[in-house]
Amino acid sequence: MPEGDTIHKLATFLSGALVGQRLDSARLQGRAIAALAQDRILGISSKGKHLFIDLEGGASLRVHLGMYGSWHRYPVGQAWQKPKRRATLVLSASGQDYVCFNAKEVEILETRGFKKRDQTDRLGPDLSRDAPTPESLLHRARTLLTPETELVDLLLDQRIASGIGNVYKSEILFLERCEPRTRFGAISDETFGALYRTAERLLLNNLGGGPRVTRTADDGRGILWVYGRAGKPCFRCGTSLLRERLGQHARSTYWCPTCQ
């Protein structure tokens, strides 16, 4: 499940492979994007869950993988591991196909245009890059949200801070001992700051290779505290963990009814 750390790592990898390269072709939903052919890639960056690919002709591709999207690289002509019908975006350069499968959104923007500025400006600071202060995030939250907003929705709101996804949401709430349905207006400034400091720490700790890890105990019992562990015992207290679809978008949330 791609979250901010995944997109950060992806931007780093694609930058090393593609920046400075000239596209041989570009295809969106199977159709050639003639306007991008032969353009040189000037930069690749991420903000939260969004990837931006800037081209010398003035266009910028915005890619949001959603829950199921992924990028693959293949030598041109090699068979792909997924069906071509699932290829949302294909960039070909220097004998390689860079294939984005099952993306939630791909949009062509003007690199210096209003729409791209609006797209990036309305996102909160990227916790894996920007090191925002808790005070600045609290100001954004109080400006944009009502006190009745549940914590499950607060943490997933990319306008406050970008990069937190559904896995981190559950892990952060567990580590800070917050009941998921607690209202934003009911927590202290200190608890708010602790939630986002933990989020930043987890994202930064997972910018290397390998699977996403929030639990580092070398006991063979798992690398996540609660996510995906419904019905299993809590690592802290032994209580069976719960799973329920909570919040505005009814996303799966895992938590310990005793510790939280």
Report helix, strand or coil for 257: coil
Tell me, what CATH number does 204's domain have? 1.10.8.50
Q: What is the CA radius of gyration of the chain?
A: 20
pTM, to two decimals:
0.86
Q: Which residues contact 183 (CB under 8 A, 6 or more apart)?
A: 147, 148, 149, 150, 151
Whether residue 127 lies inside any domain: the answer is no
* Residues 68 and 110 both lie in one domain: yes
Catalytic residues: 2-3, 49, 251
Whether residue 201 lies inside any domain: the answer is yes
What's the burial of 164, exposed, middle or buried (CB within 10 Å: 0-12/13-18/19+)? buried
At 35 the pLDDT is 85
Pick out the chain residues at pLDDT < 50: 114
At 113 the pLDDT is 52
- CB-side neighbour CA atoms (13 Å) of 118: 5
* Residues 148 and 226 both lie in one domain: yes
Which tens digits make up the pLDDT trace of 15-55? 999 999 999 999 999 899 888 888 999 999 999 999 999 99
Tell me, what CATH number does 77's domain have? 3.20.190.10
Whether residue 21 lies inside any domain: the answer is yes
Domains of the chain: total:
2
At 110 the pLDDT is 80
Tell me the C-alpha distance between 3 and 78, whole Å: 29
At 121 the pLDDT is 67
At 208 the pLDDT is 87
* Residues 26 and 113 both lie in one domain: yes
* Residues 98 and 160 both lie in one domain: no
Q: Which residues contact 104 (CB under 8 A, 6 or more apart)?
A: 64, 65, 66, 67, 68, 69
What residues make up the domain containing 167? 134-255
Question: Is the separation of the CB atoms in 88 and 29 below 8 Å?
Answer: yes
* Residues 67 and 106 both lie in one domain: yes
Token pair of 139 as six digits: 């100001």
Question: Is the separation of the CB atoms in 149 and 184 below 8 Å?
Answer: yes
At 117 the pLDDT is 56
* Residues 117 and 141 both lie in one domain: no
* Residues 92 and 152 both lie in one domain: no
Domain-ending residue, one of 93, 121, 149:
121
**DSSP β-bridge partners for residue 53:** 44, 61
* Residues 98 and 21 both lie in one domain: yes
At 114 the pLDDT is 46
* Residues 228 and 141 both lie in one domain: yes
How many helices and strands (H and E) does the chain possess?
6, 11
Question: Is the separation of the CB atoms in 240 and 258 below 8 Å?
Answer: no
Domain-ending residue, one of 121, 151, 173:
121
Strands (E), 65-169: 70-75, 87-93, 96-101, 105-110
At 126 the pLDDT is 94
Token pair of 235 as six digits: 């690592």
